[in-house]
Amino acid sequence: MQAQNTILIVDDNPVGLQHLAMILQSPGHELILSSSGGEALEKVKSIQPDLILLDVLMPGMDGFEVCRRLRSDPVLAEVPILIITALDDRESRLKGLNAGADDFITKPIDPDELEARVHTILRLNRYRRLLEKQSELEEANRALRQAYDTTLEGWGRVLDLRDGETEGHSKRVAVMTVRLALELGIEGEALLHIRRGALLHDIGKIAIPDRILLKPGELTIDEWEPMRRHPVYAYETLSSIPYLRPALDIPYCHHERWDGSGYPQGLKDKQIPLAARIFAVVDVWDALTSDRPYRKAWPKDKVIEYIHAQSGKLFDPRVVDMFFYLKDLGEL
């Protein structure tokens, strides 16, 4: 069913008012009639029409003044105005345009011309409103994404605190992982998913009992069994959330190892998602260069030596090379 267009017709002459109404009478138009400028200004606030047909020569408040007042109101400023006038001189047209009119039609009215102009203005107005709605939706989506991402950062801080990580660990590794991913050819929406996955890389540890997670010494074989399942818990948690499902590669696969010795699936080399291979290097760097409750930070030279030694074993060699290339440039 076609939506109706509301058209406000303003003319102090009853004959002219009815003539315009007769021309525009159509199932697709709802016509509202007004016989003065002041009355039109009152009506337009409540009906917010799709188009105003406005006569110029009216007593009291002429069409130019009505036009100016409408354009000064932020709510009504974009309502299309078609001025109908017997004045056909250049000065009057300029005055109307300066007052804010969108178009002119001169008397005597040609019905076909009026219908064509009205159709064109209404079509352009529908397009303008669609663009406005699209812009509003995009802004709402941006605000929603920002709210989601702020929440994820909060979750990351909570996970850091529970796991005994240093302050800001999740945010640091997220920043470095995104920068490294960009250099390795990942772009667009995929970078957002990588950032979210990095922030939530240890979300699965919420299912690990404190007696295991916070144990200061080495874990027993029995204690390692649930610890090694935390990527599975992450998968089970995030896969049910459509918004976060594309971010699963890092929480689910960041303990997989290049040589196949990792967990939970025992993936090797390029079976491991690139995002997880990137994160694995970044995570180990940040972990070893930071103080932990159970040990002091390693010297950076020792960490560099360790990561190079594990290239091709635990880590993707290409990722390791790019990581240290960016480190040398001071970009990580």
- Are residues 191 and 322 both part of a single domain? yes
Q: Is position 303 within any domain?
A: yes
- Are residues 117 and 186 both part of a single domain? no
- pLDDT mean over 59-87: 89
Q: Tokens for 56, please give them.
A: 């110029």
- Are residues 113 and 208 both part of a single domain? no
- Are residues 201 and 309 both part of a single domain? yes
CB environment 129-162: b (16+ within 10 A), e (fewer): eeeeeeeeeeeeeeeeeeeeeeebbeebbebbee
Q: Is position 183 within any domain?
A: yes
Most confident of 136-140, 207-211, 312-316: 312-316
| 5-14, 24-33, 132-141: range with lowest mean pLDDT | 132-141
| 166: confidence class by pLDDT, cuts 50, 70, 90 | low
CATH code, domain carrying 96: 3.40.50.2300
- Are residues 94 and 202 both part of a single domain? no
DSSP 52-111: EEEES--SSS-HHHHHHHHHTSTTTTTS-EEEEES--SHHHHHHHHHHT-SEEEESSP-H
Q: Is position 179 within any domain?
A: yes
Pairing of strands 29-34, 51-55: unpaired
- Are residues 124 and 205 both part of a single domain? no
- pLDDT mean over 101-121: 89
- Are residues 91 and 240 both part of a single domain? no
**Residue pointed to by tokens 């219908």:** 115
Averaged pLDDT of the chain = 90
- Are residues 261 and 125 both part of a single domain? no
CATH code, domain carrying 322: 1.10.3210.10
- Are residues 66 and 193 both part of a single domain? no
- Are residues 83 and 213 both part of a single domain? no
Q: Tokens for 220, please give them.
A: 């027993």
SS3 299: coil
pLDDT > 80? residue 242? yes
Q: Is position 156 within any domain?
A: no
Q: Is position 297 within any domain?
A: yes
CA distance 239 to 246: 8
CA distance 82 to 10: 10
Structurally, the chain folds into a number of domains equal to: 2
Q: Is position 152 within any domain?
A: no
CA distance 133 to 252: 38
| 167: confidence class by pLDDT, cuts 50, 70, 90 | low
Close Cβ partners of 223 (under 8 Å, ≥ 6 residues apart):
212, 215
pTM of the model: 0.63
Question: How confident is the model over 270-294, as pLDDT tens digits?
Answer: 999 999 999 999 999 999 998 876 6
Q: Beta-carbon neighbour count of residue 287 at 10 Å?
A: 16
9: containing domain: 5-134
Q: Which of the listed residues 114, 134, 154 is the one where a domain comes to its end?
A: 134
